[in-house]
Amino acid sequence: MHMNRRMMLKESALGFGSLALTAMLAEESLSSDTTTRFPQQPHHTPTAKSIIFLFMSGGPGQTDTFDPKPALDKLDGQRVPDSIAATIPNIPRSGVNSKLFASPFSFQQYGESRIPVSSLFPRTAQMVDDLCVVRSMNHRVPVHGPGECIALTGTGVGDRPSMGAWVNYGLGSASKNLPGFMTFLSNVSGPPPQLPGWGSGFLPARYQGTLVDGNKGVPYTEMPGGYTEANRRQQLEFINEMNRRHLALSGPDSELEARIDSYELGYRMQASAPEVFDLTSESTDTRSMYGLDEKETAQFGTHCLLARRLVERGVRCIQLRNGGWDAHSNLTSNHLKCSQRTDQPIAGLLQDLKERGLLDSTLVVWGGEFGRTPTIEGSRTGKSRGRDHSPAGYTMWLAGGGVKGGQIIGATDDLGYVPIERPLSPADMHATLLHALGIDQNRLTYNHNNRNEIPTVFGGEVVQDVFA
Q: Rounded to the nearest 5°, which phi and psi values hold at 132?
A: -110, 105
pLDDT for the residue 321: 97
Model-level pTM greater than 0.75? yes
Nearest in space to 375 (alpha carbons), one of 58, 77, 141? 77
Query: Are 273 and 297 a contacting pair, CB within 8 Å?
Result: no
Structural domain includes residue 36: no
Residue 2 resides in a domain: no
Contact 59, 325 (CB under 8 A): yes
Nearest to 47 by CA among 363, 277, 380: 363
How many folded domains does the chain comprise? 1
Establish if 37 belongs to a structural domain. Answer: no
**468 residues of the chain, pLDDT tens digit each:** 444 444 433 443 333 333 333 333 333 333 334 344 556 789 999 999 999 999 999 999 999 999 999 999 999 999 999 988 888 878 888 889 899 999 999 999 999 999 999 999 999 999 999 999 999 999 999 999 999 999 999 999 999 999 999 999 999 888 878 889 999 999 987 788 999 999 999 999 889 999 987 666 565 556 667 766 677 667 777 777 777 777 777 777 666 666 666 666 666 666 666 788 889 999 999 999 999 999 999 999 999 999 999 999 999 999 999 999 999 999 999 999 999 999 999 999 999 999 999 999 999 999 999 999 999 998 888 889 999 999 999 999 999 999 999 999 999 999 999 999 999 999 999 999 999 999 999 999 999 999 999 999 888 999 999 998
Q: Confirm whether 448 is domain-assigned.
A: yes
Supply the pLDDT for residue 218: 61
Residue 169 lies in a domain: yes
Position 34 in a domain: no
The range of the structural domain enclosing residue 445 comes to: 12-28+56-466
In a domain, 50, yes or no: no
> At 415, which CATH number?
3.40.720
Residue 434: partners with Cβ closer than 8 Å, 6 or more residues away = 163, 166, 167, 170, 440, 441, 444, 455, 456
CA–CA distance from 147 to each of 156, 287, 325, 409 (Å)? 6, 34, 14, 22
Tell me 81's DSSP state.
P
